[in-house]
Amino acid sequence: MRVLLVEDDPVLASAVRDYLTRDGWAVDVAPTLAVARGCMPAPYVTVVLDLGLPDGSGLSLLPLFARQPEPPAVLVLTAQDRLSDRVRGLDAGADDYLVKPFDLPELSARLRAIVRRRAGRRTPTIERGAVTIDPAAREVSVNGRPVELTAREYALVVALAEAPERVFSRSQLEDTLYTFDGGVESNIVEVYVSRLRRKFGRAAIRTVRGIGYRWDAAGATGAEADA
Ligand code: CA
């Protein structure tokens, strides 16, 4: 899952980036409005948006985000004393806000709630047949047995399983896994898909010929012995 962090304070930005990366997010940081505009279009699930930026107010980006083919959810970061900013942000289309200074676990929890609402999910966990994903704990199990996953494997499973009817192209999955800074190795999606098939079952991820991949809940029956 990809998130754009628009924040000009480098210390705060790197703390947030490090924290969210451990949560399985691929984080791009934009320190100015101009850099944030240059990041579009990109498949961000959410944008974490500071308002006081060197080249203007973060609120001015909201119309641009709203015009994206799949508009990201926007969480606005506001200063303690700027109630009017919060009201204006929400009125202008922001989905949530957090008052600085904030705790990283709270930011992380709010992003999970945003993702859940976007997916139309009422429960905190993602249940797909034998597979249960608990985003708060970052735990995945098949038939109740925990599955060990790297941060990128986890991000890929969440993206696929959250939208099981959707076919993802290879480049869409690459976009889910990588930030602009991270070089994408060729065939990396195939490598991860094959690792996930070993952990969840060969039929857990269907290849849709000529288009890409989709999650198949019925096929996710657990780890396979090496053939
Ligand atoms: Ca700022």
Q: Which two tokens stand for residue 91?
A: 């009125």
**Helix, coil or strand: residue 85:** helix
> 84 near 15, Cβ under 8 Å?
no
Query: Rounded to the nearest whole angstrom, what is the distance from the C-alpha of residue 135 to the centroid of ligand 1?
Result: 29
- The CATH number of the structural domain formed by 126-226 is 1.10.10.10
Query: Rounded to the nearest whole angstrom, what is the distance from the C-alpha of residue 225 to the centroid of ligand 1?
Result: 52
Mean of pLDDT values over 199-206: 94
Give the pLDDT confidence of 107-118 residue by residue, as tens digits.
999 999 998 888
- pLDDT at position 69 is 87
Q: Which residues of 138-153 are buried (b: 16+ CB within 10 A; e: fewer)?
A: bebebeeeebebeebb
**For ligand 1, a single-atom ion, which residues have Cβ within 5 Å?**
8, 50, 52
Judge if 2-119 and 126-226 fold alike in CATH terms: no
Give the pLDDT confidence of 13-64 residue by residue, as tens digits.
999 999 999 888 999 999 999 999 999 988 899 999 999 999 999 999 999 9
The architecture in CATH of the region 2-119 reads 3-Layer(aba) Sandwich (3.40)
Distance CA 130, CA 144 (A): 8
pTM: 0.81
Non-local CB neighbours of 67 within 8 Å, separated by 6+ positions: none
Sign of the Cα pseudo-torsion (157, 46, 5, 111, in order) = negative
Give the pLDDT confidence of 129-187 residue by residue, as tens digits.
999 999 988 899 999 999 999 888 998 999 999 888 899 999 889 888 877 776 667 78
Mean of pLDDT values over 79-103: 85
Domain boundaries, the chain: 2-119, 126-226
188 pLDDT higher than 90: no
Query: Rounded to the nearest whole angstrom, what is the distance from the C-alpha of residue 21 to the centroid of ligand 1?
Result: 21
225 pLDDT higher than 70: no
Query: Rounded to the nearest whole angstrom, what is the distance from the C-alpha of residue 206 to the centroid of ligand 1?
Result: 44
